[in-house]
Structure 1
Amino acid sequence: MGSFSIWHWLIVLIVVMLVFGTKKLGNIGTDLGKAVRGFKEGIKSEEEKPTAPVADKTTIDVDAKEKSKG
């Protein structure tokens, strides 16, 4: 009972196709592919983003010191 034979998987596939229909299964596959592609593009764009320059931090610190003097 540990593993299923090819006949078990074919019966499961037929039942799934009867319940959902082939058109809906095709749409699910297309949507899943688009989601994976979008996820990969999102990761790629995150890696390409430059880090914030250090000069911006220094400018903020200088502004804060000037306000405290005034």
Structure 2
Amino acid sequence: MGSFSLAHWIVLIVVVMLLFGRGRISEMMGDFAKGINSFKKGLADGDAPASQPAAPPPQVTHGAPVAPAPEEARR
């Protein structure tokens, strides 16, 4: 009950071929291959920006010091 014999596999393949046909199976495999290639391309594109050095942070320039607020304005 655990494994299939050669006859079982042949019947299974014949049924699959009758249901899907030769053209449909090759079309599905082509779509599958395109999906894998697209996935690999996406992974390669995702790594490209990470290899570039990051831009240095912008420099903050300080102006003249500001005088403290008067006591009355703080209340």
TM-score (norm 2): 0.64
Asked which structure has the greater RCO (Cα within 8 Å, sep 6+), the reply is 1
Identity %: 33
1:2 — aligned with what?
A: 2
The C-alpha deviation readout for 1:2-47, integer Å capped at 9, x for no partner, is 1112221111111011011111111001110111111111112212
Map 1:1-70; keep pairs closer than 5 Å.
1-50=1-50, 53=54, 55=56, 58-59=57-58, 62=60
Query: Which of the pair has more CA radius of gyration?
Result: 2
Ranges of 4+ aligned residues in structure 1 off by more than 6 Å: none
Count of aligned positions? 60
Q: Matches of 1:5 and 1:24 in 2, distance apart?
A: 27
Q: How much does 1:53 deviate?
A: 2.3
More helix per residue: 1 or 2? 1
TM-score (norm 1): 0.68
